[in-house]
């Protein structure tokens, strides 16, 4: 992949965030998602690449969302797999709470897991803890390993967990280990990425969530030198068959970073829609808007924070008022 592709992809997430941000707190998550999707698609058409969506928002018959198998880019440049979530946290935007992102990841063609739309058990940690955690190990053991790696006591560790009834025992286990918990209503991609940035205060993310979001999180952590492990959780025979069609014969096998994002290169880009620990959300003032984005490339290890100021009257196609 060309190094210039990194900055081109930031334009895509910026457009999605600017289009979606107008819907913050309005209680209309579908409208927010559609606004972001349309903006993403418009800007993708200008990007020099031959992209195919392998992580998207459904199959072709669910358009107008970005669907699995859709081609993106202007037809020139590298052939890449694309993982995309125009709004990671539609409920967050609808409520106006923390950590909604416009996010995407790309890798060389054939190098991203085509994750089915089902649940995945997950564990995510930053660079210091690579190789020290095991998704099959007890929670207490993983917390102790992360604490030692980060030079902390277990009582200092903060674990991010989605606030779901299915996580009641997990929450109890973390509390029994003496660690602190940050419960999230939504947005586990942001939580996973936050483990690699000390200023966010998040040391580890655990629990089950969407498998497509797991691949996006793995792309980001690959760029940051972190670690991610997952196990698919099919709920019925149809989902189990889907796993087998993907070549995953034993769903009890752990999916490691090399399974989720193979090869030595990947690019991750995200723009804040609402404020979060890592990125500021969209701000509007008259005919201008400001964005804060993160873009990273695994091959070079480069991590960039990009602040943008946008003249919205010059971008009428994707900045639409509700």
pLDDT tens profile 118-177: 999 999 999 999 999 999 999 999 999 999 999 999 999 999 999 999 999 999 999 999
Is 28 part of any known ligand binding site? no
Cite the residue boundaries of each domain of the chain with CATH code 3.30.540.10. 4-111+265-314
Which pLDDT score is estimated for 62?
Answer: 52
Phi/psi of residue 54, each to 5°?
A: -110, -20
Residue 33 is labelled as binding a ligand: yes
- CA atoms of 248 and 73, how far apart (whole Å): 30
Residue 60 pLDDT grade (very low, low, confident, very high; cuts 50, 70, 90): very low
301 annotated ligand binder:
no
Q: Is the pLDDT of residue 315 over 90?
A: no
| CB of 56 closer than 8 Å to CB of 103 | no
Query: Does the annotation list 90 as a binding residue?
Result: yes
Inform me whether the pLDDT recorded for 319 exceeds 80. no
Q: What band does 25 get if pLDDT is binned at 50, 70 and 90?
A: very high
Question: 119-260 has which fold?
Answer: D-Maltodextrin-Binding Protein; domain 2 (3.40.190)
Residue 188, marked binder: yes
Q: Which of 191, 192, 205, 190 is nearest to 146 (CA)?
A: 205
Q: What is the pLDDT of residue 167?
A: 98
Point out which residues pair with 183 in neighbouring strands: 161
Cβ-contact 177, 206 below 8 angstroms = no
Q: Does 88 count as an annotated binding residue?
A: yes
Find the mean pLDDT for residues 52-57. Answer: 90
Strand pairing class (50-55; 79-88): parallel
Q: What pLDDT is recorded for position 271?
A: 98
Surface-to-core class of residue 10, CB atoms within 10 Å of its CB (0-12 exposed, 13-18 middle, 19+ buried): buried
Specify the pTM. 0.96
Closest CA to 38 of 10, 73, 66, 80: 66
**Local confidence band at 63 (pLDDT 50, 70, 90 cut-offs):** very low
Residue 237, annotated ligand binder?
no
Pick 311 or 319 by higher pLDDT. Answer: 311
Are 52 and 81 spatial neighbours (Cβ–Cβ below 8 Å)? yes
Provide the CATH topology of domain 4-111+265-314. Answer: Fructose-1,6-Bisphosphatase; Chain A, domain 1 (3.30.540)
Region 99-104: what's the mean pLDDT? 98
Q: Render pLDDT for 270-284 as a digit per residue (tens, 0 to 9).
A: 999 999 999 999 999
- Residue 132: its pLDDT value, please? 98
Q: For residue 115, is pLDDT > 90? A: no
Please say if the pLDDT value at position 117 is more than 90. Answer: no
164 has binding-site annotation: yes
Q: Which residue has 């929670």 as its token pair? A: 139
- Mean pLDDT calculated for residue range 26-47: 94
Residue 119 annotated as binding?
A: yes
DSSP 75: S
**165 marked as part of a ligand binding site:** yes
The response to whether 213 counts as a known ligand-binding position is yes
User: 243 or 141: whose pLDDT is higher?
Assistant: 141
Where in the chain do CATH 3.40.190.90 domains reside?
A: 119-260
pLDDT per position as a tens digit, 200-221 = 999 999 999 999 999 999 999 9
Mean pLDDT of 180-191: 96
> What pLDDT, on the 0 to 100 scale, is given for residue 59?
58
Burial class (CB in 10 A: 0-12, 13-18, 19+), 308: middle
Report the range of poorest mean pLDDT among 17-21, 97-101, 240-244.
Answer: 240-244
């Amino acid at each position: 992949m060309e190094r210039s592709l990194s900055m081109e992809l930031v334009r895509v997430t910026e457009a999605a965030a600017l289009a979606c941000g107008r819907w913050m707190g309005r209680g209309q998550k579908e409208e927010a998602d559609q606004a972001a999707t349309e903006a993403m698609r418009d800007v993708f058409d200008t990007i020099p690449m031959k992209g195919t969506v392998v992580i998207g928002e459904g199959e072709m018959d669910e358009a107008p969302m970005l669907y699995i198998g859709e081609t993106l880019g202007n037809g020139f440049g590298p052939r890449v797999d694309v993982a995309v979530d125009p709004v990671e946290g539609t409920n967050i935007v609808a409520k106006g709470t923390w950590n909604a992102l416009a996010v995407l990841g790309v890798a060389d063609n054939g190098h991203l897991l085509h994750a089915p739309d089902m649940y995945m058990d997950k564990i995510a940690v930053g660079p210091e803890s690579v190789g020290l955690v095991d998704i099959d190990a007890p929670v207490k053991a993983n917390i102790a390993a992360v604490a030692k790696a980060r030079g902390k006591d277990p009582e200092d560790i903060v674990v991010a967990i989605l606030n779901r009834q299915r996580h009641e025992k997990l929450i109890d286990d973390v509390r029994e280990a003496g660690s602190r918990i940050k419960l999230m209503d939504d947005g586990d991609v942001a939580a996973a990425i936050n483990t690699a940035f000390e200023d966010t205060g998040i040391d580890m993310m655990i629990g089950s969530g969407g498998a497509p979001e797991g691949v996006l999180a793995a792309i980001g952590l690959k760029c940051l030198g972190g670690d991610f492990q997952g196990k698919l959780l099919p709920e019925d025979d149809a989902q189990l068959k889907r796993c087998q069609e993907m070549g995953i014969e034993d769903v009890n096998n752990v999916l490691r970073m090399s399974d989720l994002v193979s090869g030595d290169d990947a690019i991750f880009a995200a723009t804040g829609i609402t404020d979060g620990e890592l990125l500021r959300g969209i701000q509007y003032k008259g005919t201008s808007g400001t964005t804060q984005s993160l873009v990273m490339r695994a091959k070079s290890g480069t991590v960039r924070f990009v602040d943008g100021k946008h003249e919205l009257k010059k971008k009428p196609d994707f900045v639409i008022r509700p």
